[in-house]
Amino acid sequence: MRIAIFGAGAVGGTLAALLARAGFEVSVVARGQHLAAIQLNGLRFQTPDEEFVVNVIASDDASQLGQQDLVICTLKAYSLPAAATSLASLLGEDTPVVFAQNGIPWWYFDNDESSEYQSLRESIGLQRVIGCVVQCPATVIRPGVIRLSQNHLKFFLGERTDVLTPRLQKIKTELEATLPITLTTEIRTEIWNKLRINVASSLLTTLTHSYTSDVLKIPALKTQFLQLLAETRAVAAGYGVNIDQADEHLLARFYRQKHAPSMLQDLLAHRPMEIDVQLQRLQTLARKAQVATPLLDILLPLLQQRVLATAEVR
């Protein structure tokens, strides 16, 4: 099975390393020093239990990789529109594309005709889309090296139509010996479940430069964390998604987790951040649904100013 990972950062690199070690023909689309390191030394993957190196085909030009049986796109959401043509070059007649992004994905609403993602609708098409929600506490610690901070990996796959299709079942059959895959007929519920955590952890960890576990040790910050979970849950309900997962159960795995959320990683590395797709879009959806988000409305401008101030200091 030929698999292309489009975007070999923390999540994409994790997928590439595990799939390549399992014997799949893996190609990765990467760039810059990360690409150069992978081409020269292979892709190194570290976990709490082991460390190994795999050799994968790596390029910054997707058109050189040929048609694939499966494409997994792990780019940040803000990079997707510009990558549409490159993604399309990897597609055979029936190649599905798994999109694993944070926030509300571009394909979420059937009637979304916004110009921002028109290139994806035209080049990829909604019929190829498979939604993916990832739990993967990984970090690119230096070019060519991915570290998984704890052995907690989950991949939820679902069709945008909420149908358990043969192609979904085929992907699971092919990959489940390598990746912990759960198929779902409610991928939007999984998206909101992850968004709840991302909104709370991204806002509070980036404003405090702290791990989520450290935020949760402070009663006042834990209260804010829980309020942000509740606000996001209310917005989800405004769009027909009812979340019944208990907040304390959701938090259990974070109490001892020493992992920086991706938005904090981006802030510290002076990379673009997914404020638009995760936080601002949530606020926009809340207002359209007439759902109050008082704490989000206070903390979001603080984070936006934090980003501006950090850029000015540089």
Catalytic residues: 194
Concatenated DSSP letters for the chain?
-EEEEE--SHHHHHHHHHHHHTT-EEEEE--HHHHHHHHHH-EEEE-SS-EEEE--EEES-GGGS--BSEEEE---GGGHHHHHHHHHTTB-TT--EEE--SSS-TTS-TT---GGGHHHHHHT-GGGEEEEEEE--EEEEETTEEEESSS--EEEEEETT----HHHHHHHHHHTTTS-EEE-S-HHHHHHHHHHHHHHHHHHHHHHT--HHHHHTSHHHHHHHHHHHHHHHHHHHHTT------HHHHHGGGTT-----HHHHHHHTT----HIIIIIHHHHHHHHTT---HHHHHHHHHHHHHHHHHHHH-
Do the beta carbons of residue 80 and residue 106 sit within 8 Å? yes
Please, which residues have CB within 8 angstroms of residue 151's CB and are 6 or more apart in sequence?
Answer: 47, 48, 49
Query: Looking at the DSSP assignment, which residues form a beta bridge with residue 68?
Result: 91
**In degrees, to the nearest 5, what angle opens at C-alpha 116 toward C-alphas 197 and 229?**
15
**Amino acid letter at 220?**
A
**In degrees, to the nearest 5, what angle opens at C-alpha 307 toward C-alphas 301 and 308?**
90
**CA separation for the pair 310, 264 (Å, rounded):** 13
